[in-house]
Chains A and B, each alone.
Chain A
Amino acid sequence: MTRLLDVENLAKSYAGLAAVRHVSFGLDRGEILAMIGPNGAGKSTCFNMLNGQIRPDAGRIRIDGVDTTSLPPRAVWRKGVGRTFQITATFGSMTVRENVQVALMSHGGALGRWFGRADTRGRDEADRLLALVGMAADADRAAAELAYGDLKRLELAVALANRPKLLLMDEPTAGMAPRERVGLMRLTAEIARAEGIGVLFTEHDMDVVFEHADRMMVLSRGLLIAEGPPETVRRDPEVRAIYLGEGLVYDARHQEARADASTSGPQPEARA
């Protein structure tokens, strides 16, 4: 059986500067893969190539066996890829429910219709998705007036509207309060495992990565320098070197310390 996501030799450079240098990796159904790396490592470029916003210079992307390299974002979406953005992108003039309804209508191929009221279409399904992400009470509010954390949850609901096989989440918890972060990622993980969705996410918060990722990959200057289960990666000397003075080493030590403590004390997860 083919892998859900299969990336081979992906490369992109901007005016001679190699942002992503022949990166290959894969992702299975129901698996949660974290992509980490310092600023400028090529994470965003990589992400934007996966969903078609940037055309790669070289390499191949296959989603569920289908080649999606160089397809525009809307076509990639039709292959079953949901996406959330680092800086949230929602339809501010619409209600929360309408935001999801538009995605549902698009999935159902209804957006070309000039006749008939749109606000009754997919209402129940939209409410179901909103309930799933804990936004049911806000369904009638304008998206423009939502708090940031709520926008992130709305984006997740929108991203789930086309019943994606693959979810791309660019810094899903950036700008959220610690409690919200854990909540959102736990929710995502539950949905992903229940529905067999593969999740690829970038993240700066190592607590989130270690707690939720099945596997992680580390990018540095456009190269994939480490890949594997979080436990293994965090012991990788090269990764440590790159992250010296940055969050990973600290967090990893922190994590280890907590893991040690947890043999007698409460589990780290219990913090949430």
Chain B
Amino acid sequence: MQLVFVQFMTGLASAASLFLVASGLSIIFGVTRIVNFAHGAFYMLGAYVAYTLTDRFTGAFGFWFALLAAAAIVAIVGCLLEMTLLRRIYQAPELFQLLATFGVTLMVQDLVLLIWGPEDLVGPRAPGLAGAVEIFGKRIPSYDLFLIALGPLVLAGLWLLFHRTRWGVLVRAATLDRSMVAALGINQKWLFTGVFGLGVFLAALGGALQIPRDAVNHGMDLRIIVEAFVVVVIGGLGSTTGAFVAAILVSQLNAFGILVLPKISLVLVFLVMAVVLVVRPWGLFGTRPPPAQASIGMAVRPWRPLAPGEIAVAAAVVAAVALMPLWLGHYALTVASEILIFVLFAASLHLLMSVGGLASFGHAAYFGLGAYGAAFVVKAAGLPMLAAIAAGPLLAALGAAVVGWFAVSLSGVYFAMLTLAFSQIVWSIAFQWVDVTGGDNGILGLWPDAFAASPAAFFWLTLAVVTPALVWLHMVIFSPFGYALRAVRDSELRAEAIGIDRRRVQWIAFVIAGTAAGLGGALFAFLKGSIFPDVMAIPTSVDGLVMVLLGGVETVLGPIVGAVVFKALAMWLISQTDYSKLVLGAVVVALVVAFPKGIVGTLADWRDRLTARRGAGPSDAEASADATAAEPPAGTMAPAPSPATVAGRTRP
């Protein structure tokens, strides 16, 4: 009983920081509609800055001043980021914003490494709260009690801010209807900046408050951002009260999960989130979101399949690639095989994301399931490699069929979050079901059969598997089914009115995409000779998203180009610099701001401008293999961005 009480109090204390971070995330989303991935980075920055400041300013006053000053400094950094970066991309599809802020997260990770070094840093105890108080015969740290009290205080403060100040009322109004607030003569720009600053302040304060409890470290950002997402999704995007309730729920699940169900402690939180999303898609305190600003993947210039001449070019490219073992060394060939595998992974995500308009944030799960599936077949059934490569995707297909069935009832950010939750569940299972998956130690010794043992042979095998799979995906895009999928993406209303079953079509697409990703995963397992849970962790999913966007989300051939460039760049950077994340993050940010159409989309635009200048007719302008993008559809389409409908309230 005493143990339960201690766990309960620990859970409550953890909830305070989580609530601060999550409420900031929620407020920012409510007003600006930006899902701020960099929120975890601000949390981490808050902790690091607070560490430095508490070092400088000692004593009771100095300590508390340092915490607040740290949060304020980081908030100013956040405001600068909002003014320089986010203001440029408010009109872009949600996914671009998520990606830009993800790029910022990557950069911050390396910046922190540069400034504060790789070691964990232990901050000072809070002056006056260093001791413990005895309750029910157990000693509870006084600092924990302080945090427990702080949560409701902040909630009350936010409530007062939003209900009793002019600024707060404006923020709530903007949450409900941005364009109306703008029409009333309010300068939205500064309102948005202010809200972003407030959100970042809360996140940084959450981080700063952690230093007396935990060592400051580099993993803080991703850990908190995933939990904060979970909290916000369970509570309802845009709801502060929801964030408060969900933060307590999640913290208690964490505290007791370890105690009661240690075997599935990692899964528990995501399981709850998945259940909430399935039962109450907009969260416990959320309301139905407005229609997405712009469905991703919408191309104004219609797609068309490759013309015979272009097919010949594609065949020549494949032939040239097939000749690569003649001049590439072993290491380079292994890299090339990996790139090919990720081309397939990106292309499978593209089917879902560009063609289907469903941006999955957990696509790595099916890549991983394919890999584990192949490994099981080898280890348990003792079957040869080719059988395993064929069987692996079946596990991925099964997983995608189950997850997809739930996921396709949602869309936009909620779809992204549910797929993320499911991928975390799959990851947790791989991580914690040690008897079957080997847990953290993975499954080793998955070597290719003798005929494919050499890097060259495995490269050819990979090419021989990946090429038909890509051709197949391409055919699906231009098959009647592909049209149905795009129809559903473009206008669900119209699609249903001409007899198309949206859920069915999207579910099938989800399974196809998952299966193709699983095929890539099965190859990957044999390429590496081993398989670890991390292959299906969030970074792999995000890599896939970056590849598709880098290539051009509104293009057909984008994912292939994007995967090649991204993978090659990432691997090259790792070999060249210790700060590859900084460069990669900067590339991602630059990409979103300067080339939102990606490589292929931008090239197509250039060529079109060129042909237009030559005075070519429209038939020539259309002759783009990758038939792509024009302007971002927001504003040009009939369903104009309408933030009018109630989205999620900022009502505590």
Chain A positions within 8 Å of B, measured between CB atoms, are 51, 53, 72-75, 77-78, 83, 85, 87-95, 98, 101-103, 105-107, 110-119, 121, 140, 142, 144-145, 148, 151, 158, 161-162
Q: A91-B486, A91-B494, A93-B299 are in contact. Are A162 and B499 (CB under 8 A)?
A: yes
| Interface contact B480-A111, CB-CB below 8 Å | yes
| Interface contact B499-A93, CB-CB below 8 Å | no
Distance in angstroms from B295 CB to nearest chain A CB is 9
Question: Quick check: is B637 within 8 A (CB to CB) of the other chain?
Answer: yes
Distance in angstroms from B472 CB to nearest chain A CB is 8
Residues of A contacting B633 in the complex (Cβ-Cβ under 8 angstroms): 92, 144
Interface residues of B in 296-328 (CB under 8 A from A): 297-305
| Interface contact A119-B500, CB-CB below 8 Å | no
| Interface contact B499-A142, CB-CB below 8 Å | no
Q: A90-B490, A93-B486, A113-B479 are in contact. Are A106 and B498 (CB under 8 A)?
A: yes
| Interface contact A117-B478, CB-CB below 8 Å | yes
Question: Quick check: is B484 within 8 A (CB to CB) of the other chain?
Answer: yes
Residue from the list A74, A95, A117 in contact with B479, Cβ < 8 A: A117
Q: A92-B298, A106-B499, A106-B500 are in contact. Are A119 and B478 (CB under 8 A)?
A: yes
Other 6 A-B pairs with CB < 8 A, given A74-B498, A78-B499 = A92-B298, A118-B482, A142-B301, A144-B636, A148-B638, A161-B498
Question: Quick check: is B538 within 8 A (CB to CB) of the other chain?
Answer: no
Q: Write the chain A residue with the least CB distance to B472.
A: A114
Q: Write the chain A residue with the least CB distance to B304.
A: A119
Question: Quick check: is B481 within 8 A (CB to CB) of the other chain?
Answer: yes
Residues of B contacting A89 in the complex (Cβ-Cβ under 8 angstroms): 491, 493-494, 497, 638-639
Q: How far is the CA of A115 from the CA of B512 in the complex (A)?
A: 13
Residues of A contacting B637 in the complex (Cβ-Cβ under 8 angstroms): 92, 144
Question: Quick check: is B476 within 8 A (CB to CB) of the other chain?
Answer: yes
Residues of A contacting B636 in the complex (Cβ-Cβ under 8 angstroms): 144-145
Residues of A contacting B487 in the complex (Cβ-Cβ under 8 angstroms): 91, 94, 102
Residues of A contacting B578 in the complex (Cβ-Cβ under 8 angstroms): none
Distance in angstroms from A212 CB to nearest chain B CB is 23
| Interface contact A102-B498, CB-CB below 8 Å | yes
Q: How far is the CA of A158 from the CA of B482 in the complex (A)?
A: 18
A selection of 17 A-B contacts at a CB cut-off of 8 Å is A88-B638, A90-B494, A93-B486, A94-B487, A94-B490, A98-B483, A105-B483, A111-B480, A112-B480, A112-B481, A112-B484, A113-B480, A114-B481, A118-B478, A118-B483, A119-B305, A158-B494
Q: Write the chain A residue with the least CB distance to B305.
A: A117
Q: Write the chain A residue with the least CB distance to B297.
A: A93
Residues of B contacting A148 in the complex (Cβ-Cβ under 8 angstroms): 638
Residues 612-629 of chain B: 1 if any A CB is under 8 Å from the residue's CB, otherwise 0?
Answer: 000000000010000000
Interface residues of B in 462-512 (CB under 8 A from A): 475-476, 478-484, 486-487, 489-491, 493-501, 505, 512
Distance in angstroms from A257 CB to nearest chain B CB is 37
Residues of A contacting B494 in the complex (Cβ-Cβ under 8 angstroms): 85, 89-91, 158
| Interface contact A111-B483, CB-CB below 8 Å | yes
Residues of B contacting A145 in the complex (Cβ-Cβ under 8 angstroms): 300, 636
Q: A111-B483, A118-B480, A162-B499 are in contact. Are A93 and B490 (CB under 8 A)?
A: yes
| Interface contact A113-B481, CB-CB below 8 Å | yes
Q: A73-B497, A85-B493, A119-B478 are in contact. Are A92 and B300 (CB under 8 A)?
A: yes
Interface residues of B in 594-646 (CB under 8 A from A): 622, 633, 636-639
Q: How far is the CA of A161 from the CA of B497 in the complex (A)?
A: 12
Residues of B contacting A142 in the complex (Cβ-Cβ under 8 angstroms): 300-302
Residue from the list A75, A88, A94, A162 in contact with B483, Cβ < 8 A: A94
Q: A101-B483, A119-B305 are in contact. Are A77 and B476 (CB under 8 A)?
A: no
Residues of A contacting B491 in the complex (Cβ-Cβ under 8 angstroms): 89-92
Q: A90-B490, A98-B302 are in contact. Are A115 and B479 (CB under 8 A)?
A: yes
Best-buried of B481, B495, B497 by chain A (most CB within 10 Å): B497
Distance in angstroms from B408 CB to nearest chain A CB is 15
| Interface contact A114-B475, CB-CB below 8 Å | yes
Interface residues of B in 251-286 (CB under 8 A from A): none
| Interface contact A77-B497, CB-CB below 8 Å | yes
Residues of A contacting B497 in the complex (Cβ-Cβ under 8 angstroms): 51, 73-74, 77, 83, 85, 89
Distance in angstroms from A96 CB to nearest chain B CB is 9
Residues of B contacting A93 in the complex (Cβ-Cβ under 8 angstroms): 297-300, 302-303, 486, 489-490
Q: Write the chain A residue with the least CB distance to B491.
A: A89
Q: How far is the CA of A53 from the CA of B496 in the complex (A)?
A: 9
Residues of B contacting A140 in the complex (Cβ-Cβ under 8 angstroms): 622
Residue from the list B304, B305, B480, B505 in contact with A121, Cβ < 8 A: B480
Residues of A contacting B505 in the complex (Cβ-Cβ under 8 angstroms): 111
Residues 507-536 of chain B: 1 if any A CB is under 8 Å from the residue's CB, otherwise 0?
Answer: 000001000000000000000000000000
Residues of A contacting B481 in the complex (Cβ-Cβ under 8 angstroms): 111-114
| Interface contact A111-B476, CB-CB below 8 Å | no
Q: How far is the CA of A90 from the CA of B495 in the complex (A)?
A: 8
Residues of A contacting B304 in the complex (Cβ-Cβ under 8 angstroms): 119
Q: How far is the CA of A118 from the CA of B480 in the complex (A)?
A: 5
Top 5 closest A-B pairs, CB basis? A89-B494, A91-B490, A111-B484, A73-B496, A89-B493
| Interface contact B476-A114, CB-CB below 8 Å | yes
Distance in angstroms from A106 CB to nearest chain B CB is 5
Q: How far is the CA of A113 from the CA of B639 in the complex (A)?
A: 29
Q: How far is the CA of A51 from the CA of B498 in the complex (A)?
A: 11
Q: How far is the CA of A78 from the CA of B490 in the complex (A)?
A: 21
Q: Write the chain A residue with the least CB distance to B479.
A: A114
Q: How far is the CA of A116 from the CA of B487 in the complex (A)?
A: 17
